[in-house]
Copies of this chain bind each other. A is one copy, B any other.
């Protein structure tokens, strides 16, 4: 266990991500004391039963009292409400961050909701699973994954010191940390995360509605590719609704590109242009190799889900 980076942290919202931060912070020793605020009574009961935190509150203002870091881990469109609820309890000089998948919207929401004495540094760990709730979290979720911080455009020493400390916190729980402009973040994530989710949700919906093919057949013969999409399409509906509503411009932009490319591919199929298909299908292999080489994916076939079989 290292030296605590913060004497006390408060995590507001304790689902998959929030509870993983709590577990990781405790295991690594980067936080002295840990308080949790959670509005759901069912989730609160689980957090208590799992003994995740030193104290569990319904009221965010109580949880954040004396905290040096407050981390909001609620759906993007709930950030402002959660921050307003916490505001009365915040101490001057506190660092405020979050784990939302959209950064421009959340930056505005947090800055509007908390006092000027707080250092607002929005953040986003690129990690997760298709599961939800405090039972789904685990301490190793952020290991070797990237966390992107999108600090405000200010370079005064106290703010930069707060950024450095938050970065040390994430490093302490295993993440690799990068700083980025919030607008660029929202575009990068639109293509690497938001569009993949949109498409996965869409194809699963299309398959469910297709006349001539029973839903049971779709499930039964899903091992040919479809099942990989259903994993993503099993993600939390509220979280993802909020992402699409708050990152509308970037999502519609990349969706437009995707649709254009898909029309070209459709035309190549219709006209039997095998060379065009082959060229694209060869090029995409390289990207996979790059991701594996960067340590962001298992090199095992089928994600290793057949592991142990051979």
A interface residues (Cβ-Cβ under 8 A, vs B)? 101, 126-131, 136, 138-141, 143, 145-146, 148, 184, 187-189, 191-210, 212-213, 215-235, 237-238, 240-241, 244-245, 248, 251-252, 254-255, 257-259, 261-262, 265-266, 269-270, 272, 274, 277-278, 280-285, 287-291, 294, 296-298, 300-307, 309-310
In the complex, which of the residues B194, B208, B221, B291 contacts A230, with contact meaning CB atoms closer than 8 Å? B291
With A199-B262, A307-B304 known as contacts, the answer to whether A188 contacts B221 (CB < 8 A) is: yes
Across the interface, do A255 and B244 meet the contact criterion of CB distance under 8 Å?
no
Besides A194-B225, A215-B287, A228-B229, 19 other A-B contacts (C-beta < 8 A): A130-B288, A139-B310, A188-B218, A189-B221, A189-B224, A193-B225, A195-B206, A196-B225, A197-B225, A200-B225, A202-B280, A219-B287, A227-B297, A228-B232, A230-B291, A230-B297, A231-B288, A241-B277, A303-B303
Across the interface, do B143 and A309 meet the contact criterion of CB distance under 8 Å?
yes
In the complex, which of the residues B195, B216, B298 contacts A305, with contact meaning CB atoms closer than 8 Å? B298
With A219-B291, A225-B193, A241-B277 known as contacts, the answer to whether A303 contacts B202 (CB < 8 A) is: no
CB contacts (< 8 Å) of A270 on chain B: these are 248, 252
In the complex, which of the residues B192, B193, B265, B288 contacts A198, with contact meaning CB atoms closer than 8 Å? B265
- Identical chains in the assembly: 2
CB contacts (< 8 Å) of A288 on chain B: these are 130, 204, 230-231, 233-234
CB contacts (< 8 Å) of A145 on chain B: these are 223
Across the interface, do A220 and B269 meet the contact criterion of CB distance under 8 Å?
no
Q: Which residue of B lies closest to A139 (CB)?
A: B310
Cα–Cα distance between A130 and B303 once the two chains are bound (Å): 10
